[in-house]
Amino acid sequence: MPLTLRNVRPWGGEPSDVTLDGGAITAVVPAAQEGAAPADAGAAPGAGVVDGRGRILLPSFSDVHVHLDSTRLGLPFRPHTGSPGVWNMMLNDRNNWRDAEASITERATHALGAMIERGTTRVRSYAQVDADAGLERFEAVLVARETHRGRADVAVIAFPQAGLLREEGSAEVLEEALRLGADVVGGIDPCALDRDPVMHLDIVFGLAEKYSVPVDIHLHEPGQLGRFSIELILERTKALGMQGLVTLSHAFALADLPDGELDGLLAEMAELDVSVATVAPASPLPLQRLTAAGIRVGLGEDGQRDYWSPYGNADMLDRTWQLAFTNRFRADQLIEHCVAVATMGGASVIDPAAQRLSSLADRPGLAVGDPAELVLVEGDTVAAAVMDKLPGRTVIHRGGVVADGLQLV
């Protein structure tokens, strides 16, 4: 059934009436004059017309880097007990995740629902598979996805958080997750964690080729070590013809490299269409240069109040604020660009055929023919909405309202 969003402001612009049908935007016209709207203009969400109340219409958020299998959202706050370093943090998680006050399935399902309530309808979630967890965490994320199937699209990454070479059986359980339908194969720090980048990448890209899935590699490695791993990943991408199918998550080295080295690396990444997923770290990636180079960039929340970190609240609008803040952006255009990254930028990381950002001025996703993946937010301007993060939101997935006022419909 067609749905009309009455009196909304696409990207904070002029008041408009936007019609949705068949999962797409079918019309965008100037808002009807006061008193000229049909009798049902004040109908409740889902009844054919949504009263936009002058709110800003944005593409819905795309969380492209989230660990639904490790969250403690909704549970009592727990003091952080982890020690620095990927391996130490992983062990802290391993020593505690089974003892939480709720099952991993319940936690993943709750967290995904909270994300949807706040405006996220496109998700790429990791699911840890290793010698300790087996497929338990992977299966929990699958249940969460199924529970919210009508509210969001969720791609699941089979993720070897503990590496592939340090524990016997790690590669085997990773492959089993792919046999059972994982959408993406993950990898992590081939040099720093597994200390054998050739073998690690042989396994990851070999499985990607065997099961015809994309690759997403966590890369915490800094500086020249990270550059070395990126170059090896680019070599594999080119050799296997996987242009558009490889994502570097974190990619902290891109924040460390001298300009001369960075320029060449970004050019090669753009040529091979390798995308980047960032979580808005304290040392930010060169966001403007990535966009200028033509590299797809998306945003994610990472772990949310888990055994790795006390941060995270299921709100991508809040994480968008963090992206702007860590980049020291103050101009409205740059803050709005962060919103574009968190929405359509992420959508293009998940689906390389989706509309892409090509400049800092791009504000895509709200034209006729675009997917009806939308969120209404309160604010005088887009930048103000990011600063204030108000609760008056309406979330639309495939042309239908799935959440309103931070509550699932």
What's the pLDDT at 34? Answer: 56
Are 122 and 213 in a shared domain? yes
With a CB cutoff of 8 Å and minimum separation 6, the contacts of 217 are 186, 187, 188, 190, 204, 233, 246, 247, 248, 249
pTM across the whole model = 0.95
Return the pLDDT at 82: 93
For residue 69, give the DSSP letter: T
Task: Answer yes or no: do 385 and 248 share one domain.
Answer: no
The CATH number linked to 123 is 3.20.20.140
Residue with tokens 């399902």: 109
Q: What is the structure's pLDDT at 31?
A: 96
pLDDT at 37: 47
Helix 197-211 to helix 223-239 angle (10° resolution) is 40
Question: 115-148 burial, b for 16+ CB within 10 Å, e for fewer?
Answer: bbbbbbbbbbbbbbbbebbebbbbbbbbbbbeeb
Confidence (pLDDT) at 102: 96
Residue 355 lies in a domain: no
Asked if residue 65 and residue 9 are part of one domain, the reply reads no
Domain total in the chain: 2
Whether residue 389 is found in the same domain as residue 293 = no
Residues 38 and 181 in one domain: no
- Asked whether 91 and 81 are in contact (CB, 8 A), the reply is no
Task: Report if residue 257 sits inside a domain.
Answer: yes
Strand 374-377 with 297-299, pairing:
unpaired
Same domain, 28 and 54: yes
**CA dist., res. 350 & res. 217, Å (int):** 14
pLDDT of residue 1: 85
Residues 82 and 47 grouped into a single domain: no
- Residue carrying the six token digits 């067609």: 2
Where is the domain boundary, 311, 326, 350?
A: 350
Q: Which domain holds residue 65?
A: 61-350
Record the tokens describing residue 140, joined without a space: 């929990």
Question: Which pLDDT score is estimated for 38?
Answer: 46
Q: What is the DSSP letter of 341?
A: I
Considering the domain architecture, whether residues 139 and 228 belong to the same structural domain is answered as: yes
Contacts of 370 (CB under 8 A, 6+ apart): 24, 25, 59, 355, 364
- Residue 173 domain-assigned? yes
| pLDDT number for residue 155 | 98
Pairing mode of beta strands 56-59, 24-30: unpaired
Same domain, 69 and 55: no
User: Among candidates 243, 295, 248, which has minimal Cα distance to 267?
Assistant: 295
Residue 356 lies in a domain: no
Per-residue pLDDT of the chain (409 residues; tens, 9 = 90+): 899 999 999 999 999 999 999 999 999 999 986 544 443 433 444 459 999 999 999 999 999 999 999 999 999 999 999 999 999 999 999 999 999 999 999 999 999 999 999 999 999 999 999 999 999 999 999 999 999 999 999 999 999 999 999 999 999 999 999 999 999 999 999 999 999 999 999 999 999 999 999 999 999 999 999 999 999 999 999 999 999 999 999 999 999 999 999 999 999 999 999 999 999 999 999 999 999 999 999 999 999 999 999 999 999 999 999 999 999 999 999 999 999 999 999 999 999 999 999 999 999 999 999 999 999 999 999 999 999 999 999 999 999 999 999 999 9
Residue 155: inside a domain: yes
